[in-house]
Amino acid sequence: MYGKTVILLVALAAVSAIPYSEYQYDPEVQDVYEELSPEEIYEIHRIRRSLQGGAPNFPQPSQQNGGWQVSPDLGRDDKGNTRGQIEIQNKGKDHDFNAGWGKVIRGPNKAKPTWHVGGTYRW
């Protein structure tokens, strides 16, 4: 049984193998890669971390017509507690939705996270 399996695997490998001519590398072929100038490389790989002064403003969705509002916050109090929290709201014509999550990350009041979810529907 073992010999038949080996023969089957060898035959399968031989049938599915790529011809030797496909393995040849020719550096003169221009379609293989594209040379980029340093400026083009910078534009492709540039990472924008934050908007700088004088940068264009991007419009935010209007909260009067509905839309999601996400409010993350990280703060510290007088007792040395560092608290992280996030609030999410969606206000529409006939509904309001809100949810929140918070946790004291570091400090004497460190505990399990707290959360809430709520909403209203207007008839």
Please list the pLDDT of the chain residue by residue as tens digits (123 residues).
677 788 888 877 776 776 666 666 666 665 656 677 777 776 666 555 555 556 666 555 554 545 788 889 999 888 889 999 999 999 888 889 999 999 999 889 888 899 999 999 888
Buried (b) or exposed (e) across 49-84, using 16+ Cβ within 10 A?
eeeeeeeeeeeeeeeeeeeeeeeeeeeeeeeebebe
**Residue closest to 76 by CA, chosen among 116, 107, 115, 113:** 107
Query: Whole-angstrom Cα distance, residue 116 to residue 120?
Result: 14
The answer as to whether 31 is a domain residue is no
Enter the pTM of the model: 0.44
Identify the pLDDT of residue 97.
92
The answer as to whether 113 is a domain residue is yes
- As separate numbers, helices (DSSP H) first and strands (DSSP E) second, the chain gives 3, 4
**Which one-letter DSSP state was computed for residue 96?**
E
Which residues are within 8 A (CB) of 95 and not within 5 positions of it... i.e. 6 or more apart? 119, 120, 121, 122
Q: Report how far apart, in Å, the C-alpha atoms of 116 and of each of 76, 101, 119 are.
A: 21, 7, 10
The answer as to whether 102 is a domain residue is yes
Identify the pLDDT of residue 31.
60
> Which residue range forms the structural domain that includes residue 117?
65-123
| Count of structural domains, the chain | 1
The answer as to whether 42 is a domain residue is no
The answer as to whether 54 is a domain residue is no
The answer as to whether 1 is a domain residue is no
Identify the pLDDT of residue 63.
47
Identify the pLDDT of residue 39.
78
Which residues are within 8 A (CB) of 105 and not within 5 positions of it... i.e. 6 or more apart? 82, 83, 84
The answer as to whether 32 is a domain residue is no
- Are residues 120 and 95 in contact, defined by beta-carbon separation less than 8 angstroms? yes
The answer as to whether 97 is a domain residue is yes
